[in-house]
Amino acid sequence: MSDYTNFEVGQKFPLPIATQADGAMFQVDANGAMFILQLSRTDVIAREAFRTGKMEFAFYEQDGLLFLLYQIDGIFKEGWGDAPLSLHTLKPELLPTEKSLQDKTLHLYLVDTTLQILLAQRDIELNSKCQAIIQKHAAAQKKKPFSDEGFRKKVQSIWQKMTPAMMRQKASAVQSVPLAIPKAPSQIAQTNAASSKKLH
């Protein structure tokens, strides 16, 4: 993640979002790989589910396009969503770099659609297969970017034939994200006490 970009929960999301509507966006740029989920209605349970809940991501490839598929317990009751990757909307200075593509982190952001406020964030580490697929498609699109019309037509063509669930069945790589249960204060105290005993 680039040092100059400040992501702080409760503050304005610092990166421009082209389409301000409910849904997900998958972006790979100079800041790294990002999954941005925009929702106009959320509650404490949804924000906590995004921050600590169980998730699954998968990558589907077709006709030179890469789709990030996602399933998030506690936010979506069933089914899969999808978000296609495209670099053609990025400014030249935001294009992914060799350094950003080496980073295995997928940065997850939950954003309020209307106010563009960052509601929750989470970082996960991608497995090598997922990272390799992202690197391959980012390099190909940097070399030969899509046009707006070409990208839109390709995406629409795939959506007419494939549902996200069908894409998931043919995914090239999968990344499971386990439930991250934060320790209660009493557990932290017990862990600290145990560590202290080991030192003496």
> For residues 141 and 133, is the Cβ–Cβ distance under 8 A?
no
- pLDDT per residue as tens digits for the range 147-160: 999 999 999 999 99
Amino acid at 193: A
pTM of this prediction?
0.85
Task: Give the DSSP letter of residue 68.
Answer: E
Strands 32-39 and 105-112: parallel
- pLDDT per residue as tens digits for the range 18-73: 777 889 999 999 989 999 999 998 889 889 999 999 999 999 999 999 999 999 98
Listed by start position, the domains of the chain span 23-199
Scan for tokens 């007419």, then name that residue. 160
Q: What is the mean pLDDT of the chain?
A: 87
